[in-house]
């Protein structure tokens, strides 16, 4: 007999009915007696989504100004003036220097990339992202602030464009969701939105829907509905502040659900409070 995968439930059905799909539903390799049990189990999983440890966050990055002086892009005096101006303008240092005509765009991007310990690109042809390498939805790409532009033939390495400072949490989440080694390249702040807009506009194959959700209950209910409709067979999720990113995968479609961490966290505190009294 098959027993419901939600442990608190314990309901069971004869194997033959489960195999024929006449009882409950299958999701992520487990059998649930009902959509309610699947939704409850999914909710528990999402509420436990912890922040990903970000890699390479331990070593303090060298200050951009000092780096640009070392690279002879600017002089000490330039930096002193730019820092003073920056206090009034509120601009990031790179922008401030550009506005003052100190250093070229390329030199600044090179400096920002060196500061982050990654590569940089002064130009990426938008046609490289139109087919949506790595198979994300455009909404996910926009939320992550990271645009995949090349996936290696063996799918093991993913090259992505992002702006500085590096969105390390998003990069870690992308690595988790795709299973690929993610190589980040810093690009100009003005280029990134153009890449986001072009991403996946000519995607072949499996369509990807995306939605921003308002609560854990919404996400859990959506998962249960999709499983019941046979449109989702499994899910992946990862915390990618400010979102918990949930991907539902079925044979013919994928769906990305973005749940604000604040929403996930807010409701996660409820059961704990209730049982502690």
Q: Which residues bind Zn ion (CB under 5 A)?
A: 4, 6, 9, 11, 33, 37
Cis bond before residue 242 (omega within 30° of 0): yes
Q: Which residues pair with 120 in a beta bridge?
A: 186
Nearest to 83 by CA among 106, 104, 107, 66: 66
- CB neighbour list of residue 128: distance below 8 Å, 6 or more residues apart: 149, 150
Q: How far is the CB of 169 from Zn ion (least distance, A)?
A: 35
Using the minimum distance from each CB to Zn ion, give the nearer residue, 9 or 126.
Answer: 9
Using the minimum distance from each CB to Zn ion, give the nearer residue, 37 or 144.
Answer: 37
Q: How far is the CB of 274 from Zn ion (least distance, A)?
A: 21
Using the minimum distance from each CB to Zn ion, give the nearer residue, 2 or 33.
Answer: 33
Q: How far is the CB of 151 from Zn ion (least distance, A)?
A: 39
Nearest to 193 by CA among 145, 134, 130, 259: 145
- CB neighbour list of residue 80: distance below 8 Å, 6 or more residues apart: none
Q: How far is the CB of 8 from Zn ion (least distance, A)?
A: 8
Using the minimum distance from each CB to Zn ion, give the nearer residue, 6 or 226.
Answer: 6
Using the minimum distance from each CB to Zn ion, give the nearer residue, 17 or 201.
Answer: 17
CB 4, CB 10: distance < 8 Å: yes
Q: How far is the CB of 47 from Zn ion (least distance, A)?
A: 18
CB 75, CB 97: distance < 8 Å: no
């Amino acid at each position: 007999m098959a027993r419901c995968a939600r442990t608190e439930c314990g309901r069971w059905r004869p194997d033959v009915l489960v195999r024929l799909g006449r009882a409950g539903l299958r999701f992520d390799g487990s059998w649930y007696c009902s959509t309610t049990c699947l939704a409850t189990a999914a909710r528990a999983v999402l509420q436990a989504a912890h922040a990903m440890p970000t890699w390479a966050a331990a070593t303090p990055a060298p200050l951009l100004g000092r780096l640009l002086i070392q690279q002879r892009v600017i002089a000490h005096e330039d930096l002193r003036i730019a820092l003073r101006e920056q206090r009034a303008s509120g601009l990031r240092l790179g922008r401030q220097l550009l506005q003052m005509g100190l250093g070229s765009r390329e030199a600044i991007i090179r400096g920002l990339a060196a500061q982050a310990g990654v590569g940089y690109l002064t130009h990426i042809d938008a046609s490289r992202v139109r087919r949506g390498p790595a198979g994300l939805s455009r909404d996910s790409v926009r939320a992550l602030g990271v645009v995949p532009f090349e996936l290696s033939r063996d799918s093991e390495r993913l090259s992505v464009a992002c702006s500085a400072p590096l969105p390390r949490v998003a990069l870690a989440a992308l690595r988790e969701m795709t299973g690929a080694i993610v190589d980040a390249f810093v690009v100009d702040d003005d280029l990134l939105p153009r890449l986001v807009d072009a991403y996946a506009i000519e995607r072949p194959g499996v369509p990807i829907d995306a939605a921003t959700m308002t609560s854990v209950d919404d996400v859990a209910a959506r998962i249960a509905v999709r499983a019941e409709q046979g449109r989702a067979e499994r899910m992946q999720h990862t915390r990618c502040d400010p979102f918990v990113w949930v991907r539902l995968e079925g044979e013919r479609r994928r769906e990305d659900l973005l749940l604000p961490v604040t929403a996930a966290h807010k409701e996660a505190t409820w059961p704990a409070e209730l049982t502690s009294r």
